[in-house]
Each structure stands twice: as C-alpha cells, then as structure tokens.
Amino acid sequence: MFTGIVEEMGVVKGADFSENTNKLRIQCSKVLEDIKLGDSIAINGICLTVSQLGHGWFGADVMPETLRRTSLSELKSGNKVNLEPALSLERRLGGHIVSGHIDDVGVIRQIREEQNAVWIIIEAPEYVMKYIVMKGSVAVEGTSLTVAYVEEDCFGVSLIPTTRFLTTLGHKKVGHKVNIECDIIAKYIEKLLKPGQDTSTHNYSSIDMAFLQQNGFI
C-alpha cells in the first residue's frame, strides 16, 4: 500500500525486457534507507518487489501482465522514474490510498502553464474515466493528484512547482504515456452496489442504491 507521495526520482540503469526475462535495475538512495529483499517499492506507480539489492541500486522482476497494463516496457537506461516505498504505520497519509496496481495507461493530450501552475490534460480509456470525478483523487505515474477538470474522454490535473520539481511529471511532453490508478474506494463501492447481484447464495451487503436513497444518503 502506498500514498502517492513520491519520495525520490531514481534513474533506470537497466531495463531488460526480452522473451526469457523481464528485469529492471534502478539507481537511487533515499528509498533504500530501510529496504530489504522482498519489500515493495512503487516505480512510476507500479508496485514491484525488490529482488536484488546493492549499494545505491535495487532490481525488480516484472511480470508480462505488468508490461501489458503499464508503460514500463518503454523505459530505457537513463530514464527517470518516480519511487515510493510501501507505507508504514509511522508515516503520514499525505496523499490518498494507492495500491500500486495500475488500471490502464493514459496519453498526455495537452500541457499548458497558468501562473505558477501547469495543467496536464490526460486522455484515458472509458474504463478509467468512469472512476474519475471532479475534485477526486487519482494517481498518475504514482503521484497522488486532485482531479481538477473532467470531460468524457479525458481529465486534467494542475501541478504546483513542488510536484513538477520532485516527480517525473515535470519532464513529460505531449504524447507521453502515463500510468493511471483510479481511487480504489470507488471500485469497491461499484462492486458492492452492482445491480443484479445474487444475495441468496453469497454473503453480500444488503446496501444498494434504494437503501441509500431511503435513508437520505443520496
């Protein structure tokens, strides 16, 4: 589990994506302070397990499914990546609850400046857009952001200078792909309220849209 607060930008020192092996090697420092083999680190929002560990670097194995659902396969040596170690109970939840499981890849449609901020408009698949709500939370490249603009096939976020400086989002260009993770709470709510669920043989919640309306929740 993560918060979407990027702690460090690492540098790709090896990206071996071939028929027989899929491995990443990342150079970094801060996120390795209390990391051991088997721990989780989010790379551009993707939860990966540390399988190798050296002085100033770590390695991770990547499943084919992860390559299919994310932009990891486009990484090359020298690229910068957002890094966040798994959340501990001693840390503040400064962003929002992020699982590190990417929903899909979006494409940057537009970038424009507005005083000290920068707007990034991201085109996303229909499956993603149904979970994007105005002023809701979304993780883009592992960075917790607030949705500030929504259309049918795209959404926009506004970056403060700190976010631009401390994450890879400040280096993105129009046409670049970005990993998107929607708010996990929305997906669980959808599952629980899905119409037509057979509650006679499963221990599902009895809460549905009618119940919420009757009790003044909506």
Concatenated DSSP letters of 87-134: P-TTS---S--B-S---EEEEEEEEEEETTEEEEEEE--HHHHTT--T
Q: Residue 36 and residue 88: Cα distance in Å, rounded?
A: 14
Do the beta carbons of residue 153 and residue 126 sit within 8 Å? yes
**Rg of the chain (C-alpha set):** 19
Q: Residue 18 and residue 47: Cα distance in Å, rounded?
A: 20
Do the beta carbons of residue 4 and residue 95 sit within 8 Å? yes
Ranges 141-155, 167-181, 198-212: which has the least confidence: 198-212
Region 45-65 average pLDDT:
96
pLDDT tier for residue 213 given thresholds of 50, 70 and 90: confident
Q: What is the pLDDT of residue 8?
A: 97
Q: What is the pLDDT of residue 208?
A: 67
Query: pLDDT higher for 97 or 90?
Result: 97
Q: What is the pLDDT of residue 167?
A: 98
Neighbours of 2 (CB within 10 A): 25
For 215, residues 6+ apart whose C-beta sits below 8 A from its C-beta are none
**For 115-166, how does the pLDDT look when each residue is reduced to its tens digit (9 = 90+)?**
999 999 999 999 999 999 999 999 999 999 999 999 999 999 999 999 999 9
Nearest to 86 by CA among 141, 46, 42, 51: 42
What is the CATH T-level fold of the domain 104-188, as seen in this structure? Elongation Factor Tu (Ef-tu); domain 3 (2.40.30)
Whether 104 has a pLDDT exceeding 70, the answer reads: yes
Class of residue 177 by CB neighbours under 10 A (exposed 0-12, middle 13-18, buried 19+)? middle
Ranges 7-11, 33-37, 92-96: which has the least confidence: 92-96
Q: What is the pLDDT of residue 90?
A: 77
Three-class SS state of 212: helix
Amino acid, res. 122: I
CATH class of 8-85: mainly beta
Sequence length of the chain is: 218
Q: Where in the chain is the domain with CATH 2.40.30.20?
A: 8-85, 104-188
Q: What is the pLDDT of residue 192?
A: 84
Region 87-105 average pLDDT:
89
Do the beta carbons of residue 190 and residue 177 sit within 8 Å? no
